[in-house]
Amino acid sequence: MKLPSTIKIGTQKFVIEERLPGDDGMLSDSCFGYTLEARSLIVIDQTLSDGKKQVVLIHELMHAMNIVFAGVSKPSKKDDYEIWEHHSIGVWEHAFLLMLRDNPELVKYLMEE
């Protein structure tokens, strides 16, 4: 299975790279991937199994969607769980659908077993 090389999220394009942990100091036993906002870059540990790469990619894509769609408005720390829950779901509902529509190669990659 081959990771997509780019992903479009909203108006931004993120490059996806696989790297070896020995070549990238940010990858470790507790960090399998990361997202750099300033470079629009997602890095995934090349040594992971295919299934784990899919999970890590989804995790990093959620970081990227949060960067693009969350904006600056958020509930107060004092607001109750329901307000925070609806805020979080509101961030993801449009972002996730747009990401899937804009990236059919991603959908294909994620559906592979």
pLDDT in tens, 34-84: 999 999 999 999 999 999 999 999 999 999 988 888 765 678 889 999 988
pLDDT over 70 at 12, yes or no: yes
Residue 18 covered by a domain = yes
Which pLDDT score is estimated for 9?
A: 93
% of the chain residues with pLDDT over 70: 97
Q: How confident is the model over 14-18, as a mean pLDDT?
A: 98
The total of structural domains in the chain comes to 1
Residue 41 covered by a domain = yes
Residue 1 covered by a domain = no
Range of the structural domain that residue 92 is part of: 6-111
Q: How confident is the model over 26-31, as a mean pLDDT?
A: 91
DSSP 111: H
Which pLDDT score is estimated for 71?
A: 65
Residue 95 covered by a domain = yes
Looking at the chain, list the stretches that DSSP marks H as alpha helix, in order from N- to C-terminal side. Answer: 50-69, 81-102, 104-111
Cα-based angle 101, 14, 34 (whole degrees, multiple of 5): 115
Residue 10 covered by a domain = yes
